[in-house]
């Protein structure tokens, strides 16, 4: 079975994660599945059966009570079934496409629209198992945060790396120092934007960590001050 990932959109093999509709992390029940593409025909108890390679499943969110459609690819052990039986293994169905597209519905309005959209696009890319595309959008989002809320020295530091820009913001108390430390530990914040090659190898776990960091940056820089302001007013 693939490892459970609470940051990835749900599928039948891992029916938990952010809901494509309400954006909250939730648990899901499978309402039903239908095959949509076929491989070889084989015979089962004398009856010809077509091998389903992809199927569509309806997953019901325990939070909002609405279902999402997930196109799922059949896997055997550690490889897609369309590559053959190979060494064998457990059959699982892994999501490759979601409807509605995974949303960033839980992002507060206090976050600038462009940054919300960039983060949302990264979320959809990661859910479609496109980690490099996700990383490109996440790096643009982090860059946008530093450009929007960072000082002139932070903008200068951004030319060295994203982590340097965030460090300057932490030194100037615009950012929590723990977030700047975390950014420094992540390889994907290391290279200067101009030197980052989107064709470099990026795995899903690395992209997911950058996603989590970006979510926390958005929370600390925009949502938290706005929530405090609203609390004081009420
Ligand atoms: Zn939901």
The answer on pLDDT for 2 being more than 80 is: no
Q: Do residues 226 and 118 both lie within one domain?
A: yes
What pLDDT is recorded for position 193? 45
Ligand 1 midpoint to CA 23 (Å) = 6
**pLDDT (average), residues 164-180:** 94
Ligand 1 midpoint to CA 201 (Å) = 33
Q: Select from 73, 54, 93, 68 the least CA-distant residue to 9.
A: 68
Q: Do residues 56 and 128 both lie within one domain?
A: no
Count the domains in the chain.
2
The answer on pLDDT for 105 being more than 80 is: no
Q: Do residues 90 and 168 both lie within one domain?
A: no
Instruction: Please check whether residue 178 lies inside any domain of the structure.
Output: yes
Ligand 1 midpoint to CA 27 (Å) = 9
Q: Do residues 117 and 81 both lie within one domain?
A: no
Count Cα atoms within 13 angstroms, Cβ side, for 101. Answer: 10
What pLDDT is recorded for position 1? 57
Domain membership of residue 37 as a residue range: 16-99
Residues 57, 33: Cα–Cα separation, whole Å? 4
% of the chain residues with pLDDT over 90: 52
Structure tokens at 130: 């496109």
Neighbours of ion ligand 1 (CB under 5 A): 19, 21-22, 61, 63-64
Ligand 1 midpoint to CA 171 (Å) = 39
**pLDDT (average), residues 8-32:** 90
Instruction: Please check whether residue 1 lies inside any domain of the structure.
Output: no
For residue 197, the 8-state DSSP code is -
The answer on pLDDT for 116 being more than 90 is: yes
The answer on pLDDT for 140 being more than 80 is: yes
Residues 122, 211: Cα–Cα separation, whole Å? 8
What pLDDT is recorded for position 198? 65
**pLDDT (average), residues 167-176:** 94
Contact call for residues 15 and 30 (beta carbons, < 8 A): yes
Instruction: Please check whether residue 224 lies inside any domain of the structure.
Output: yes
Between residues 82 and 127, the one the model is more confident about: 82
Q: Do residues 24 and 122 both lie within one domain?
A: no
The end-to-end CA distance of the chain, in Å, is 48
Ligand 1 midpoint to CA 96 (Å) = 19
Q: Do residues 118 and 222 both lie within one domain?
A: yes
Ligand 1 midpoint to CA 181 (Å) = 33
> Among 17-26, 59-68, 78-87, 197-206, whose mean pLDDT is lowest?
197-206
Ligand 1 midpoint to CA 68 (Å) = 9
Ligand 1 midpoint to CA 209 (Å) = 23
Ligand 1 midpoint to CA 16 (Å) = 11
**pLDDT (average), residues 78-103:** 85
Q: Do residues 49 and 120 both lie within one domain?
A: no
What pLDDT is recorded for position 145? 96
**pLDDT (average), residues 121-141:** 88
Residues 116, 137: Cα–Cα separation, whole Å? 11
Q: Do residues 85 and 125 both lie within one domain?
A: no
- Share the mean pLDDT of the chain: 88
What pLDDT is recorded for position 24? 84
Confidence of residue 194 (pLDDT cuts 50, 70, 90): very low
What count of other Cβ atoms lies within 10 Å of the Cβ of residue 78? 11
Q: Do residues 210 and 179 both lie within one domain?
A: yes
């Amino acid at each position: 079975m693939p490892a459970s990932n609470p940051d990835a959109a749900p599928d039948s093999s891992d029916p938990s994660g952010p809901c494509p509709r309400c954006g909250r992390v939730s648990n899901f029940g499978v309402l039903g599945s239908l095959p949509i593409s076929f491989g070889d025909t084989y015979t089962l108890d004398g009856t010809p059966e077509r091998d389903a390679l992809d199927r569509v499943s309806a997953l019901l969110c325990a939070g909002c009570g609405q279902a999402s459609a997930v196109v799922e690819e059949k896997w055997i052990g550690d490889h897609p079934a369309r590559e053959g039986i190979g060494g064998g293994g457990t059959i699982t169905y892994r999501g490759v496409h979601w409807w509605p597209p995974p949303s960033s519905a839980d992002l507060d309005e206090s976050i600038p629209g462009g940054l919300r959209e960039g983060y949302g696009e990264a979320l959809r890319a990661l859910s479609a198992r496109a980690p490099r595309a996700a990383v490109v959008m996440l790096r643009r989002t982090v860059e946008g945060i530093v450009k929007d809320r960072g000082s002139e020295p932070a903008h200068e530091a951004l030319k060295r790396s994203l982590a340097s820009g965030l460090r300057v913001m932490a030194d100037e108390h615009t950012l929590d120092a723990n977030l700047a430390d975390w950014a420094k530990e992540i390889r994907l914040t290391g290279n200067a934007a101009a030197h980052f090659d989107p064709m470099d190898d990026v795995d899903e776990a690395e992209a997911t960590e950058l996603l989590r960091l970006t979510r926390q940056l958005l929370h600390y820089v925009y949502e938290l001050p706005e929530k405090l302001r609203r609390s004081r007013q009420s």
